[in-house]
């Protein structure tokens, strides 16, 4: 039978087991169990059940324990657009709407550029009963007075005309080209330049194949009208030329570019779509794309910034350089590249060593320093 000895000390009971001694008990003494017998004192650390007369008291976190989310760095500062900002009119279907959002992000720091989104998601050149672009574009340009007209259209045009001609047949193609020509003629009457953006690949293979043929029609029509055609196809396919949901964003990081349906664009995809259109727009708009447009004097040379010097500025970051088209990002020098020596200038250390046989002078403390030490 187990014998228990209890001793009352203050408000605690110390209970000692007299039997079942172990080796640890003999070495370190008997084990003592404590039990708090004061159940009436509430120091606020034990939760009490709520009652009708006593509401539940919720503790507030201390100020030093409250976790706050810091403001993310690198966010572009949104500047107010100038009253005389140059409008960029974006027209077309739902893909044009995605392009307009990307362009708004691209020129968020340019107070001299204003993006006007007039895209109609369900429109195209086939369904003129929904919107007749050749008929309505002239009035739209007259109202908005844009500096550049950007068009991206065709994703809804994989259908027959009212006469029943098959898609991409000879008769269908002639009718489609006639409507594109009428549209471009209406734009040319206003004297505004045109940037035509091609369609990207889609998840549907049949749709992708049709849009490949559409892009050739768009390219030919834009070039005949002295417009600029922007091909975005390679930016939304993998290395094998197949459609991909993910790819490189404008910073060179892998990101999701398309929605799960294989049609719509994510935020990264919209920004990448606008990346292809930025270069021709910046060339056409000139100083208006500069964040310092308000400080540029009227009549200054295009792309000239106030206080700019001839010496190369220190650049911390550059846009990715395409191996197939280095001019895509507006520059040909990689990050950290040393300036090229002027023609007829001093030879490099390599040329002096290889051509003239003159070794470079050794710096003090290095193993190639063979100078006689000074006395």
Three-state SS at 86:
strand
Beta-carbon contacts of residue 177 (< 8 Å; ≥ 6 apart): 217, 221
Residue 271 lies in a domain: yes
243 or 44: whose pLDDT is higher? 243
Share of the chain above pLDDT 70, in %: 65
264 pLDDT more than 80:
yes
The separation between CA 362 and the C-alpha centre of its own chain, rounded to angstroms, equals 48
pLDDT tens digit string along 146-157?
A: 999 999 999 999
Residue 203 lies in a domain: yes
What pLDDT score does 338 carry? Answer: 60
How many CB atoms sit inside 10 A of residue 61's CB? Answer: 8
187 and 249 in a single domain? The answer is yes
Going by C-alpha positions, the residue among 143, 96, 140 that lies closest to residue 117 is 96
Of 288, 313, 336, which marks where a domain is finished?
288
Average confidence (pLDDT) over 280-292: 90
Helices (H), the chain: 23-28, 94-106, 133-144, 170-190, 205-224, 267-285, 349-354
User: What's the number of domains the chain is made of?
Assistant: 2
Res 200 pLDDT > 50: yes
Q: What pLDDT does residue 369 have?
A: 74
Q: Are residues 280 and 163 located together in one domain of the fold?
A: yes
- pLDDT score at 61: 46
Q: Are residues 184 and 272 in the same domain?
A: yes
Q: Which two tokens stand for residue 124?
A: 């195209």
Round to whole Å and give the CA distance between 36 and 352. Answer: 90
pLDDT at residue 41 in the model: 40
Q: Which of 40, 55, 70 is the last residue of a domain?
A: 40
* CATH assignment at residue 205: 3.40.50.1110
Q: Residues 309, 172: contact at Cβ < 8 Å?
A: no
pTM value > 0.85: no
* Statement to judge: residues 15 and 101 lie in one domain: no
| 102 and 244 belong to one structural domain | yes
With 50 as the cut, is the pLDDT of residue 228 above it? yes
17 and 129 in a single domain? The answer is: no
Collect all residues with Cβ–Cβ distance below 8 Å to 315 and sequence separation of at least 6: 335
Say yes or no to pLDDT of 8 above 50. Answer: no
Residue pair 214/168 in contact (Cβ under 8 Å)? The answer is no
Confidence of residue 310 (pLDDT cuts 50, 70, 90): very low
Does one domain contain both 8 and 91?
Answer: no
164 and 244 fall within a common domain: yes
99 and 173 fall within a common domain: yes
The sheet that has 228-230: what strands, in order across it? 113-117, 86-92, 148-152, 194-197, 228-230
The token duo for 142 is 């007259």
Q: Which of 247, 262, 288 is the last residue of a domain?
A: 288
For the segment 144-189, what is each residue's pLDDT rounded down to a tens digit?
999 999 999 999 999 999 888 899 999 999 999 999 999 999 999 9
CA dist., res. 16 & res. 334, Å (int): 80
- Does the residue 371 lie in any domain? no
Q: Between helices 133-144 and 170-190, what is the axis angle to 10°?
A: 20
pLDDT recorded at residue 333: 57
Supply the DSSP string of 206-251, one letter for each residue: HHHHHHHHHHHHHHHHHHHTT-EEE--GGGGB-TTS-B-SEEE-TT
pLDDT, one tens digit per residue, over 357-372 is 887 777 777 777 777 7
Cβ of 136: how many Cβ atoms within 10 Å? Answer: 16
- Model confidence at 233: pLDDT above 80: yes
Examine the pLDDT at 218 and tell me if it is beyond 80: yes
255 assigned to some structural domain: yes
Query: In this model, does residue 231 exceed pLDDT 80?
Result: yes
Q: Which residue has the tokens 């550059």?
A: 318
Residue 34 sits in the same domain as residue 91: no
Cβ–Cβ contacts within 10 Å for residue 178, how many? 12
In this predicted structure, the answer to whether residue 46 has a pLDDT above a threshold of 70 is: no
Q: Note whether residue 341 is domain-resident.
A: no
In a domain, 169, yes or no: yes
Looking at the fold, whether 21 and 118 belong to one and the same domain comes out as no
**Residue 97 domain-assigned (yes or no):** yes
Is residue 192 within 8 A of residue 149, CB to CB? The reply is: yes
In this structure, are 251 and 180 located in the same domain? yes
236 within some domain: yes
Domain around 12? 1-40
Mention every residue, 6+ apart, whose C-beta is less than 8 A from residue 167: 158, 159, 160, 210
């Amino acid at each position: 039978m187990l014998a228990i000895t209890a001793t009352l000390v203050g408000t605690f009971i110390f209970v000692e087991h007299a039997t079942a001694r172990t080796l640890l008990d003999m070495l370190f003494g008997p084990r003592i169990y404590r039990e708090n017998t004061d159940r009436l004192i509430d120091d606020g650390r034990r939760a009490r059940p709520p009652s009708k007369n006593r509401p539940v008291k919720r503790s507030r976190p201390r100020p030093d324990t409250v976790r706050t989310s810091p403001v993310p760095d690198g966010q572009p500062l949104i500047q107010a657009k100038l009253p005389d900002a140059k409008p960029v009119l974006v027209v077309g279907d739902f893909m044009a709407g995605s392009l307009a959002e990307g362009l708004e992000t691209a020129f968020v720091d340019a107070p001299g550029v204003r993006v006007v989104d007039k895209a109609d998601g369900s429109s195209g050149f086939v369904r003129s009963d929904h919107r007749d672009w050749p008929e309505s574009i002239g009035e739209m340009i007259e109202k908005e007075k844009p500096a550049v007209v950007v068009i991206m259209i065709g994703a809804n045009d994989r259908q027959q005309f009212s006469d029943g001609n098959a898609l991409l047949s000879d008769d269908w193609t002639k009718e489609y080209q006639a409507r594109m020509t009428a549209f471009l003629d209406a734009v040319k009457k206003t004297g505004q330049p045109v940037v035509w953006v091609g369609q990207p690949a889609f998840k549907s293979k049949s749709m992708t194949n049709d849009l490949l043929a559409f892009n050739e029609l768009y390219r030919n029509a834009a070039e005949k009208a002295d417009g600029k055609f922007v091909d975005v196809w390679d930016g939304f396919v993998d290395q094998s030329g197949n459609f991909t949901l993910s790819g490189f964003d404008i910073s060179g990081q892998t990101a999701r570019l398309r929605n799960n349906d294989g049609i719509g664009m994510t935020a990264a995809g919209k920004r990448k779509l606008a990346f292809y259109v930025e270069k021709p727009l910046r060339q056409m708009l000139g100083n208006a794309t500069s964040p310092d447009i308000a400080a540029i004097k009227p009549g200054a040379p295009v792309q000239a910034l106030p206080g700019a010097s001839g010496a190369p500025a220190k650049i911390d970051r550059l846009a990715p350089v395409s191996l197939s088209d280095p001019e895509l990002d507006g520059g040909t020098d990689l990050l950290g590249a040393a300036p090229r020596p002027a023609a007829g200038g001093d030879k490099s250390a390599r040329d002096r060593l290889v051509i003239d046989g003159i070794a470079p002078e050794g710096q003090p403390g290095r193993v190639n320093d063979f100078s006689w030490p000074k006395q």
